[in-house]
Structures are given as structure tokens and as C-alpha cells.
Structure 1
Amino acid sequence: MAYVVAATVPIVLLELMIDDRTVRLIPLLILLPAFPAAVGTMRQTVYAVGWVLIVIAAVLIYRPLPSSYNFAIVMVLAFVLGILCVVTCHWRIRRERELLRTRSTAVALQRQMLRSLPILTDRVIVDGVYLPVEADRLVGGDVYEVVASPYGTRLLFGDVQGKGLPAIGAAFAVLSAFREAAPREPTLTALVDDLEQAVVRHNVFAQQTGEPERFVTALILGIDTSMETQAVNCGHPPPYLLNAGPVAPVQLGDPGVPLGLADLTPNPRTVAWFPFPPGATLISCSDGVTEARGITGAFYPLEERLGAWADISPWEVADHLAEDVIRHTAGKHRDDITALVVRRSD
């Protein structure tokens, strides 16, 4: 409301200072209630409309228009636009409340699906950080899971296309399939095939209900007693290995297609192997980190930052990373920030 009053003063002063009666600035005030209608409350919008009507009427009585007809036209326009501003504000607030309720539902579902960090198995400890994007009122589709199986510890890092409840539904399908298949399937490729079929079944159901089909980028790891770790990459950013020596992304070869899109390529998904010795740390980040852009448009220098944090505790890396990404983007990151730290037990 203070901004509306402040904007009114120079317009009124200019109106009174201009000698030419054919140039009238006071009708411009009818646009001012649009600002509180866009960002303010209902009370602020109503007060702005009333203030504008009073000021316009007072100025036009003090400095009349050429005819009473012109006076009536200006007042009617001010009144009608004021009513439209109030209605617009009402619908905007109602829509925001609906989005907040949807977000609360999605957050509750997500908390039920994802286990709290840290997660401990006989092979690894997994910790990290997950920060939903603040510019969006819908929860994103980043997912993770760790399952101890007879074949070692299996880990899933994934990101469902899109946001909101539909993305949560696809995430639930992937997590359920992973939890069921990880202790059962002897090979990582068989496990990924089960995840693929879960996403395909979900998309068939979504199509029947009118929801868009979705794909899931995922990184699936298998850690056993071997000094090398198995990985199947389904379009997910590769992890980084923190150990003695320079920090670099793990070489997993060409990434496969995301889950749900296997029919688009004749090439089967394959297993890559990479060294993951005891005491080493893996950092897996979502594309909200790897594709974060600064004010100048530069991508976030993830590899450089991880190299600079080689001496700190691995459990502090994820927090440092999230805070640094927010600084890099000036708080305007457009996607969820997810960073998971996997520490292999000695």
C-alpha cells in the first residue's frame, strides 16, 4: 500500500502543475491497483482501489474535466478496473493456496517414500543433502535408495522428469521396483530391466488416466567385496570419486537411455566397472548441481570445487556443495539440489 501512495504523489503533483487542461495525468492512477493485486493481499488490493478512487475524484473535483461525461467515464473505468483487480487478487491467492496444499501433499508422500539420511549397510554409509527449488511450489522427482542384498549393497540415484504429484507417482514406481528387485536379481542388468518395466507400466497407467508419460534418469551401483564397483548409467550425471589424487568424474562409458525409453535404442544397457577402494568417497549429484548456471550464464564448476574440498570431512562436502551452488546462482537455481555422499567402509 505504501508503494501505491508513493506512486500517487508525483502523478498528482504533475497533474496540478501542468497548465494545459488538454493534458491530464490523473487517469493513470487507475492502473495502480494492479500491483498489489499481483503480489499483495486482498486487503491491500481493496485499500489501493479505494485510495485511487478517492484521489481521482478529489483531483477531478478540484480541477474538473471539460464535461461531466468525461468525469463519469474516468470514474467508471477506475471502478471497473478496481473490481477486476480485486477479483484477480482473489483468484491468485486461491491458486497459491491450492499449490501449497498440493506441495504439502507431495512433501508428505516424498517423506514416506524416501528414507532419512544417513543410511548404513555393511558396505557403505550414505549421507547427503536435498534442497527443493524455492522458485517452484512443487516437489521435484529426485530419488535415492540403498538396499543390502545377498549380492552386495545396491544403490539407486534417480531423477524423475517433471515435478509435482505425477512425478512422485513415477518415483514411487521406481523405488518400489528397486526395493523388490535389488535383493532378488543376481545381476545389475537384470535389476535395471525390472526398473525399466516398472516405468513402462507406470507410463501405460498414466496414459490411461490422461497424465503425461515420464522417463527417469538413474544411476545404479553394486558394491560387494570386490575392490571394483559395478555401475549401470541410465542417463544420469556420473559420480565423482574422492580419494588420493585429483578429483574427476568416474568413467562409465557412454550413458544409456533413461528408464522408460529403452525401446528407442537397439543397444542394451551394459555394466561398467570402476575402482572404489575402502576409505574412498563417491559424490553423486543431480542435474540441479551439474547444470546450475550463474548470473553470467556460466555452469557451476563442480569438479574444481570438489578438488578444493579434498581436505574436509566427506560428510561436510554435501553441505558445502549445496551452499556453494546457491551462492553461484545467487539463490535463483531452477532445479532441485541433490548431493549424496557414499563412503565405503574400511
Structure 2
Amino acid sequence: MPAVFRVHPAGHDHGKRGDDGTEWGAAVANGVERRRVGPSLPAPVFAVVLVGVTVALIALDALTGTAVRLLPLLVFLPSIAAGLGSVRQTAFASVWVVLTMAGTFAYVGSEPGDNILAAGFAALFGVAAVLSCRYRVHREEEVYRLRSAAAALQRQIVRPLPLATGDVLVDGLYQPVEEDAMVGGDLYEVAASPYGTRVLIADVQGKGLPAIGTALAVLGAFREAAYREATLLGVVDAMESAVARHNMGATRSGEPERLVTALVLDIDRDPEVEAVNCGHLTPYVIHDGRARQAPLGEPAVPLGLAGLAPEPRHAIRFAFPRGATLLMCTDGVTEARDPGGAFYPLGARLGGWARRPPARLAETLGADVRRFTGTAPRDDIAILTVSRTREIS
């Protein structure tokens, strides 16, 4: 399961220990984590299975009174280890089977030729199992490197939290999904402009590297327009144009067009916040022990659909008093489901945490989502908390 983390710059090495106590190294080289795939079977479990199966087969042979009839089934033990364990475990299982069969045959007085033949077949199956395990481990390492490369690229898209400007402090957490092609396009950014602090949270439709390409286009447009455009609608228009251009290029290369839900805020020393909601989740205002959704009305169309909208987007202002916290998130939170299929009740949960400090609120919410689902997440999760850093005029 991918771990929840605050986004840190690449370039640090981290030593980790698996659940079974075995260590595996993780080095970040050029932003890409590489690891040695450790044993899939904990050592105690491996030992119990190996010895237990061997003793069971020998005991069955002794109890039934037949001469070494079931013991040759041990040749399948290395194959099982090859599919579940490490190369070292598979090699150990192979040697164990050869020695056990040879010793048992010698003890019961089998013909030397039969003894050698049985041990030879066991050794041959063992070698095949070791080679098969080496191939499996190599493939697992390749898949992991590909997943980590995509995740490392995504970590370079979003800056480390917390982010502070003269107006606000933005904290939170980001949880990427690194399974198969499930690296998504959640993103956020904070820009201190001459017109106030602009805050963006967005979610690109789809998964994988193409979604990250769209995210890069949105982020590039936001970072430039946030400083250039005097109005928040001007910033959103620049992002809309960037998504439209990116979709045109994607269509020519055979990729599908992608939409982007986005929420853009403009926060200064005014007690109100200006917002443009492009199909994103409505933020929550947490103040005086209460959590309520900001009164933004119906959201406008996502980025990439402005040409099809019946009317242009518009900005809305809502109260953001001193001491309040804004909470924004992506649909990885609201679309999380419990084992029974029920969606995560974000509004109801926030009411019980309304008096928690912003720094703890995002972590509490992320942990609660994981407990609610009871399984690995199937979508990226981004949660931002926004609080003021200075008095309101």
C-alpha cells in the first residue's frame, strides 16, 4: 500500500524494513526510487512450511507402510518457493529436497541407481525453480522501477508542503497511488502574486503518464498566469487555453482528450476569498467549531470544456474570517468506499474535527479515510488546509 507522505524533495536515501523483519534498501537516484525486492515469504513461515511438509510426507509414508511412495512429491516445494519467495529461499528449498530425498532413500535401503535418479530429478527441478524465481524477481524489480519513476515524476510536479506566503499557510498531505498504471494527476500549487495569493487544487481525468502530462500543462499555465493576470478569471482562462492546446496535441498523437477539475482561489487581506470552481469539489470553511461548505453555488464546467459551456465561468466571493481554515481535497477522499460500498462521509467527519489545528486536520482526515476503506486506495488523495498568516485589514 502506498504510504501517505508530505511531499519532500528527491535526493534522500531511506532505509526501510519489511513487515517480516527483512530489510531492503531504497535509494533515490535522480528522483527515482530503486529497491531490491525482498523475500515475499517471512522466514518463520518459510521454515514451518518447508519442515512441516517434509515431516508430513515422511510420516504418511511410515504410517501407510509403503516404501517411499509420497516423498517424491517434495520436488514441488521449490516451485512453490519460486512463486512466493526469494531466490535464496528457492535455492535452499531445492537443496533441502535433494538432501532429504537422498537421505531417506538411503535409509530405507533403496537401490543406488534409483537413489541417484531420484536425487538427479529433484536437483533438475530445483535448478528450474531457481531460474524461474530469478526471472520473477527481475520482472518485479522492473515493474517497481517503472511505478517509482512515474511516482517520482509526479512528486516533482507538486512542491513540498507546507507552503507559506504573506497571506496564507497551506499545509496538507498527498498520497499517490503506485499500483500498476494507477499514478494519477492530482496537483496543487500556491503562488504569491502582486494581486494576492493564488491557490490551485486540481484533478486530471485518467491515470498514468498522459495524465501527468496534462497536469504539467495546467501547472505551467497557472504558475505563469498567477503572476501576470490581474483577475482570477484571467488565470482560469489561461489554464483553459493550456488544456485545450494540450488536448489538440494529444488528439494528433492518438491519445484521448482529458478534462481537469480545478478550484482556484485568490486570497489577500480582505475578509473574503474569491473563487472560481471548474467542476471541482466545493471547499469547506472550518470556523468556531463548525464545518460548512463554502457557498459557491453550482460549479462551472471543468477545464477543457469551456467551448461547450452555455455561459462563461464566473468568480464568487465568500467569507474567510480570521481564525478560519479552508479545507480542499480531491475526489480520492469523497469517492473512497467502505467494504459495503458506501462513500466516505466527508462533511459528517469534518464536524467532529472542526477544532483541531490545521496542521493535524489533513493527517487526521487521511488516516480516517484509510480506516474507512480498509484497503489500499484506488485513487490519488490530495488534501490542503489553508489558514491565514496575518491579520485581516
TM-score, normalised with respect to structure 1: 0.79
- Report the counterpart of residue 33 of structure 1 in structure 2: 78
- Report the counterpart of residue 27 of structure 2 in structure 1: none
Name the aligned partner's letter for residue 241 of structure 1.
V
- Report the counterpart of residue 223 of structure 1 in structure 2: 267
Q: Return the offset for 1:284.
A: 0.9
- Report the counterpart of residue 42 of structure 1 in structure 2: 87
Q: Return the offset for 1:280.
A: 1.4
Secondary structure, in 3 states, of the residue corresponding to 1:278? coil
Find out whether 1:306 has 2:333 as its counterpart.
no
Name the aligned partner's letter for residue 278 of structure 1.
R
Aligned-residue CA RMSD (Å): 3.8
**Distance in 1 of aligned mates of 2:377 and 2:384:** 18
Secondary structure, in 3 states, of the residue corresponding to 2:297? coil
**Distance in 2 of aligned mates of 1:34 and 1:256:** 57
**Distance in 2 of aligned mates of 1:61 and 1:251:** 84
Q: How does 1:79-228 map to 2 (within 5 A)?
A: 82=126, 85-133=129-177, 139-207=183-251, 213-228=257-272
- Report the counterpart of residue 7 of structure 1 in structure 2: 53
Name the aligned partner's letter for residue 89 of structure 2.
Q
**Distance in 2 of aligned mates of 1:211 and 1:14:** 61
**Distance in 2 of aligned mates of 1:196 and 1:177:** 9
Return closer, same or farther for 1:312/1:139 CA change in 2, 3 Å cut-off.
Answer: same
Match of 2:361 among 317, 320, 330: 317
1:147-169 deviation digits (Å, cap 9, x = unpaired): 22343322110123445544333
**Distance in 2 of aligned mates of 1:137 and 1:266:** 35
1:260-283 deviation digits (Å, cap 9, x = unpaired): 355665554443433222321101
**Distance in 2 of aligned mates of 1:28 and 1:257:** 64
**Distance in 2 of aligned mates of 1:301 and 1:64:** 71
Decide which moves more: 53-62 or 319-328: 53-62
- Matched-pair contact (CA < 8 Å) for 1:240–1:250: yes
**Distance in 1 of aligned mates of 2:314 and 2:61:** 75
- Matched-pair contact (CA < 8 Å) for 1:142–1:338: yes
- Matched-pair contact (CA < 8 Å) for 1:217–1:236: yes
Match of 2:370 among 326, 341, 344: 326
Q: Return the offset for 1:50.
A: 3.8
Q: Return the offset for 1:145.
A: 0.7
**Distance in 1 of aligned mates of 2:234 and 2:57:** 72
**Distance in 2 of aligned mates of 1:235 and 1:74:** 68
- Matched-pair contact (CA < 8 Å) for 2:291–2:350: yes
Return closer, same or farther for 1:319/1:63 CA change in 2, 3 Å cut-off.
Answer: same
Q: Return the offset for 1:338.
A: 2.2
1:312-346 deviation digits (Å, cap 9, x = unpaired): 22222112222333333346333333221111343
Name the aligned partner's letter for residue 41 of structure 1.
S
TM-score, normalised with respect to structure 2: 0.71
Return closer, same or farther for 1:299/1:82 CA change in 2, 3 Å cut-off.
Answer: farther
**Distance in 1 of aligned mates of 2:204 and 2:97:** 48
Match of 2:323 among 279, 282, 290: 279
Task: Report the number of matched residues.
Answer: 341
Name the aligned partner's letter for residue 78 of structure 2.
P
Secondary structure, in 3 states, of the residue corresponding to 1:182? helix
Name the aligned partner's letter for residue 246 of structure 2.
H
- Report the counterpart of residue 51 of structure 1 in structure 2: 96
Return closer, same or farther for 1:169/1:181 CA change in 2, 3 Å cut-off.
Answer: same
Decide which moves more: 4-13 or 239-248: 4-13
**Distance in 2 of aligned mates of 1:64 and 1:198:** 81
**Distance in 1 of aligned mates of 2:76 and 2:255:** 40
Decide which moves more: 48-57 or 190-199: 48-57
Q: Return the offset for 1:229.
A: 2.4
Q: Return the offset for 1:125.
A: 1.7
Secondary structure, in 3 states, of the residue corresponding to 1:253? coil
Secondary structure, in 3 states, of the residue corresponding to 2:290? coil
**Distance in 2 of aligned mates of 1:236 and 1:34:** 50
Return closer, same or farther for 1:224/1:46 CA change in 2, 3 Å cut-off.
Answer: same
Query: Where does the alignment leave 5 or more consecutive residues of structure 1 unmatched?
Result: none
Name the aligned partner's letter for residue 259 of structure 1.
L
**Distance in 2 of aligned mates of 1:142 and 1:64:** 69
Name the aligned partner's letter for residue 17 of structure 1.
L
- Matched-pair contact (CA < 8 Å) for 1:318–1:339: yes
